[in-house]
Structure 1
Amino acid sequence: MTAQQPPHEPTDLADRALVEEAAKKSGLLWVRGPEGPSRALWHVWHEGAVCLVGDGPQEQPLDGLGLTDGGAATVTARSKDKGGRLVAWPVRVVELTPGGERWTAAVDELKGKRLNAPDADTIADRWARECRVLRLETAGAPGERPGAMPDASHAAAPRPTAATTRRPAPAGLPRLLFRRKGRTPR
């Protein structure tokens, strides 16, 4: 927050509306736990909080973020229009107990958003056995929002990966492509 900004109340309706709309409209949110850099995670907005699933063999990794039950984290959402950071707010992590009422309600919402699941019919059973379902509940006023953004860059170094950059195109490829363009269809 900049020096000229007055303190902001966490109960401000405009802030709550901004957080909710940003979370609902965004397919990904960046979550930063007490450990490691921020990570993009898919989620759903359900009953006033961000819900996500991970740490299973076929789900998004949550390891290295330090997201523990009762712990704190920061969630950042981007603007749907401009693609830049729109709002960042503190959250409290709640790990939902498999089979519980809140877990079942969150999983019902998450199932609808889980793309390309190999076991769509039994996904809730797999999540109960192998994954963690987390609820990230808002724990204060946004630290960053329109009118109160930091001047410093939040760019982070890319995470290590086995992926490689593709090799340069073969020297003869442009000639082949241009020759095809000039042909008339038979």
Structure 2
Amino acid sequence: MSSGVLEEAIKKAAIAWISVDDGPAYALWCMPVESSLAVISGPGEQFAPGLAEARSATVRLRGDHGGLIVRAEATVSRLVPGSPEWDEIAPQLAGKRLNASGPAEQVVARWAADGCALVRLTPGADSMAGAADLPAESHAAPPRETPARVETRRPFRLHRVRKR
């Protein structure tokens, strides 16, 4: 598979499944930047444990049909507030942020003040696995335990329901 598929998947990416080390993959919204992806995480933003401190991560991207088409190892580089890269990428990413509280300038200032991590993921074409190399099964896993899950109860019925 050519790296053209990887580049095209990056250009169209709005969401990517990203995992660090052997941890679970998290669906994170992202923004394409040249041949890489920009992702924000931290307080008040999306949950991506270990991504800010990682040197590499596994990125999975979907195709037009919604299924997995590319998996690649990516180099993770954290952007520092005030650097030229931060000043270029952060306002663009804040403009794409849905349900942002305030204009892009305020969002970028909040990210810098709260210590949010803006990372740039640059996938390597040499570590890419394309559609032919990907497994056919879904790899669906049972939901992880969380305090937010509640046990489903039978619905309340005022009168007896007859079975037919």
For the aligned pair, the TM-score class normalised by the smaller chain equals 0.7 to 0.9
From the CA coordinates, give the structure whose radius of gyration is larger.
Answer: 1
What secondary structure is seen at the aligned counterpart in 2 of 1:104? helix
Q: CA shift at 1:157, angstroms?
A: 3.1
CA 1:143–1:150: 2 relative to 1, 3 Å = farther
What secondary structure is seen at the aligned counterpart in 1 of 2:71? strand
**CA distances 1:124-155 after superposition (whole Å, capped 9, x unpaired):** 10111220100001223353212222245522
Alignment of structure 1 residues 13-92 onto 2, 5 Å: 14-15=2-3, 17-56=4-43, 58-63=44-49, 65-68=50-53, 71-81=55-65, 83-92=66-75
Q: CA shift at 1:26, angstroms?
A: 3.2
- On the 8 A contact 2:59/2:73 being kept in 1, the answer is yes
CA 1:97–1:67: 2 relative to 1, 3 Å = closer
Equivalence for 1:129: 113
Aligned length: 157
Q: CA shift at 1:67, angstroms?
A: 4.4
**CA distances 1:57-105 after superposition (whole Å, capped 9, x unpaired):** x100122x45425x11110011222x22111111000000111111111
Aligned: 1:158 with 2:143: yes
CA 1:33–1:126: 2 relative to 1, 3 Å = same
Question: Please, what TM-score do these two structures have when normalized by structure 1?
Answer: 0.73
Paired with 1:25 and 1:165, the residues of 2 have a C-alpha distance of 38
Q: CA shift at 1:34, angstroms?
A: 1.1
Equivalence for 1:180: none
Percentage of identical aligned residues = 31
Q: Which moved more, 1:72-81 or 1:136-145?
A: 136-145
Paired with 1:25 and 1:19, the residues of 2 have a C-alpha distance of 10
Q: 1:144 aligns with which of 129, 148, 153?
A: 129
Equivalence for 1:107: 90
